[in-house]
Amino acid sequence: MVPHIKNFTAAEILGLSGFVICLHGFGTGKHGSKIARLMSELSAQNIGAVAIDLPEHGENKNKLTIDNCIKDIAEIENHLRQFNKPISFYGCSFGGYTTLAYLLNNKNIYKNIFLLVPLIDAYKKYLPRLGQVYGKTNIVFTTEFVNSTKKFDVIKNAKNYKNLDIVYAEFDQTVDNNDILNFAKATKSNLYEIKGANHWFENEGELDQVMKIAIEVFTR
């Protein structure tokens, strides 16, 4: 199974009200600080959370393409479906885009979709970086990866989405807030702004605001 961590044991599954599949940002992984905080908060609400490593991140050795991301997410979802509990999604930044790509041609029913500072136009973001290595990682923006983001055009298919909750940061310089605002309008999403924040929510209290909104969404 795809590398993952969870906030529950097998013995605790019966008492859970549902599951949240957590998808991290580019260059991070299942042990990211935002995911760790969210998993703890969800545990206190008796909500199960599973965080995976997307391809070429963490322990996942699969080649990074959006198609492979979708396959890995589907593997986790199919495993969770056996427990007959509602499933929700949390996606941060690239994980937000990956969540939307996964939902694009997906007819399954989900309880909540929570997107934190989501990347909306991945092709626009990554095309200028074609052939480059990301930061201090070994992840390369390959032609295959970049082209796979073009295949899953969430803006063009905005009408396919509904019941989204989106949080964005006022001073985000990593993702395009105009893309987020236009997408939220097109999809009639619930939209929340964290005033004064950047993409990383580094200032005191900002992540607390995010978690408060997230728990309100996931406990509806």
Domain boundaries, the chain: 4-218
Question: For the CA atoms of the chain, what is the radius of gyration?
Answer: 16
The CATH superfamily label for domain 4-218 reads Alpha/Beta hydrolase fold, catalytic domain (3.40.50.1820)
Question: What is the SS3 assignment for 176?
Answer: coil
- Tokens 């997307």 locate to 54
26: Cβ contacts below 8 Å, ≥ 6 apart: 93, 94, 119, 134, 139
87, 110 Cβ separation under 8 angstroms: yes
User: How much is the pLDDT for 71?
Assistant: 98
Residue 191: which pLDDT band, with cuts at 50, 70 and 90? very high
How far apart, in whole angstroms, are the C-alpha atoms of residue 169 and residue 121? 17
Which tens digits make up the pLDDT trace of 99-137? 999 999 999 999 999 999 999 999 999 999 999 999 999
Mean pLDDT score of the chain, rounded to an integer?
A: 97
CA 71-75-81 angle, to 5 degrees, is: 135
Whose CA is closest to 136, among 62, 61, 26, 59? 26
Which tens digits make up the pLDDT trace of 13-29? 999 999 999 999 999 99
User: How much is the pLDDT for 11?
Assistant: 98
For residue 50, the surrounding DSSP H or E stretch is: strand 48-52
User: How much is the pLDDT for 185?
Assistant: 97
Note the pTM of the prediction, 2 decimals.
0.98
User: How much is the pLDDT for 33?
Assistant: 95
